[in-house]
Amino acid sequence: MSSSTPGKSSKADRTGASGATGRTGKTVPERTTATEAGAKTGGKSATKAAAKTPTKSATKSATKSATKAAAKTPTESATKAAAKSAPARKASATAAAAKAPAPRKAPKAESHLAMVRRARRINRELAEVYPYAHPELDFRNPFELLVATVLSAQTTDLRVNQTTPALFAAYPTPEDMAAAVPEEMEEIIRPTGFFRAKTKSLLGLSAALRDEFGGEVPGRLEDLVKLPGVGRKTANVVLGNAFGVPGITVDTHFGRLVRRWKWTDEEDPVKVESVVAGIFPKSEWTMLSHRVVFHGRRICHARKPACGACPIAPLCPSYGEGETDPDKARKLLKYEMGGRPGQRLSPPADYPGKPAPALGEG
């Protein structure tokens, strides 16, 4: 075994230090390994390539592009447009609000005294419009008026007036009518509707007049309402127009109008009669009934009142429920107000309209 001499390097050490020594004694250049070569080559190439990569330029370009794109986004333009359009929208809204109709103010509560004064003024106005107001049933005596009023239920006065001439020709007195053959009477009054029920009422009241009142129509309300088919409305019609006893006739027209005029909100005819009777003096009751019914049939209709042609429109709290255009409203007027025949075949002499045609003539 040999040992290294201090201060001298061994052969292996010298070989490793200066490179491999060939057999010729010449020094062989040191071989470079693939790893080292790759490190050298790749390092330089990577460095050069990295230098050429668009890191900085791309960052700058992206930043500029993003800034420009952000500048082009609709945020600012939308804000400016909104700022410009806001006053326009506000102006449009203001103009629309100005054009819209102002809400109607709630009417002030009317005192009872004010309502009574208004109601009486309406009556005076109607008296000027309809000085010829009258019962629209043809009759020559209390018996004929009683019979005609019973027949007028659920039909028009015109249809009754066209029917009663034949009826009274066949049965001119209560005694004659009480002895009538029901089927024959039914055939005569058939045009008025509900002819079987009406025949029963007429036979009953005629017999009662014959047996209890000597063939005469009584002149008291309490007696009249006891007759078959006779209620307060019929009794008041007979008393007011055949006997001169004041009475308020609450039919469908009368009830509708007094509610529209806010005289009362009652629906029951007896209650309506009581309220209206407290508004007007007794002497006005009969003619008030005629005027109100005339107005309801000619102008203040149930479904489409002719508000634009109504002479008492300024006094009506329900004005506007119907047609308010004057020209259109005038086309809704009926009977003499609309230039047409009335309901009576034999109207009073002062009636300005034309008589109604007989049954089968029009």
The pLDDT tens digits for 289-315 are 999 999 999 999 999 999 999 999 999
Question: H-type helices in 53-111, by residue range?
Answer: 55-72, 74-99
- 6 has a pLDDT exceeding 70: no
Catalytic residue among 233, 271, 327, 354: 233
Quick one: average pLDDT of 317-328? 98
Q: What percent of the chain has pLDDT over 90?
A: 69
Identify the DSSP state of 27: E
pLDDT, greater one: 198 or 47: 198
Looking at residue 177, its pLDDT comes to 98
pLDDT of residue 77: 47
- Give the confidence band of 362 by pLDDT, cuts at 50, 70, 90: low
Q: What is the rounded average pLDDT of the residues 256-275?
A: 98
- Is 233 in the active site? yes
Outline where the chain has alpha helix (H).
Answer: 11-18, 34-52, 55-72, 74-99, 112-129, 142-151, 157-170, 174-178, 182-189, 195-212, 221-224, 232-242, 252-260, 269-277, 285-298, 326-330
Q: What is the mean pLDDT of residues 25-49?
A: 40
pLDDT of residue 108: 75
Confidence band (pLDDT; 50, 70, 90) for 78?
Answer: very low
- In the three-class reduction of DSSP (H, G, I as helix; E, B as strand; rest coil), residue 321 is classed as coil
- In this model, does residue 74 exceed pLDDT 70? no
pLDDT of 138 reads 98
Identify which has the larger pLDDT, 27 or 159.
Answer: 159
Enter the tokens of residue 294: 């005339």
Q: Which structure tokens are listed for 252?
A: 């469908």
Query: Which pLDDT belongs to residue 231?
Result: 95
pLDDT band at 107 (very low <50, low <70, confident <90, very high): low
Please state whether 333 falls in left (phi above 0), alpha (psi between -120 and 50) or beta: beta
Q: How confident is the model at residue 323 (pLDDT cuts 50, 70, 90)?
A: very high
The amino acid at residue 201 is S
Tens digit of each residue's pLDDT (9 = 90 or more) over 174-232: 999 999 999 999 999 999 999 999 999 999 999 999 999 999 999 999 999 999 999 99
Query: Regarding predicted confidence, which is higher, 249 or 42?
Result: 249
Taking 70 as the threshold, does the pLDDT of residue 95 lie above it? Answer: no
Residues 138-148: what's their mean pLDDT? Answer: 98
Contact assessment for residue 329 and residue 306, using Cβ atoms and an 8 Å cutoff = yes
- Active site includes 251? yes
Q: What pLDDT sits at residue 355?
A: 97
pTM over 0.85: no
**Inter-axis angle of helices 182-189 and 195-212, nearest 10:** 120
Contacting residues for 301 by C-beta, under 8 A, at least 6 apart:
322, 332, 334
Average pLDDT, the chain: 81
Strand (E) or helix (H) holding 28: strand 27-28
Percent of the chain scored above 70 by pLDDT?
A: 70
Does residue 26 carry a pLDDT above 90? no
Residue 9 scores a pLDDT above 70: no
Mean pLDDT of 155-171: 98
Instruction: Give residues with Cβ within 8 angstroms of 232, minimum separation 6.
Output: 221, 225, 250, 269, 270, 273
Q: Which of 138, 157, 198, 251 is catalytic?
A: 251
Q: How confident is the model at residue 144 (pLDDT cuts 50, 70, 90)?
A: very high
pLDDT tier for residue 272 given thresholds of 50, 70 and 90: very high
For residue 361, the model assigns a pLDDT of 86
pLDDT score at 318: 98
pLDDT given at position 297:
98
